[in-house]
Amino acid sequence: MTDPNPNARWGRFATGVRRDMSEKGWAPIRYWALWWSSIAVAVLLFYVLLTPIWLGLRALAWMAEIRSRAGKR
């Protein structure tokens, strides 16, 4: 005998799901392409754009601190 509600163990998370949630299957190729494209954009944004900006700000702060200490003498 099959269970009339195979998703009863998932509670409200399975509301409206008509099939067993353990039978999801594979993700379509377009989702993989979207995922890896998003990762590539994020890596480029962080390492190519944001890291040099952050290092530049740290260098400016370091130079300001050196000038401040030199002015106190």
pLDDT digits (tens, 9 = 90+) for 29-71: 999 999 999 999 999 999 999 999 999 999 999 999 999 988 7
Contact 10, 21 (CB under 8 A): yes
Q: What is the pLDDT at residue 8? A: 73
Q: What is the pLDDT at residue 44? A: 94
Q: What is the pLDDT of residues 15-29, one digit of tens each?
A: 776 666 566 767 789
> Rounded to an integer, what is the distance from CA 35 to the centroid of its chain?
10
CA separation for the pair 37, 53 (Å, rounded): 23
Give pTM, 2 decimals: 0.50
Q: What is the pLDDT at residue 26? A: 74
Any residues with CB less than 8 A from the CB of 19 and at least 6 apart, and which? Answer: 6
| Alpha-carbon dihedral angle through residues 34, 38, 40, 45, given to the nearest 10 degrees | 160
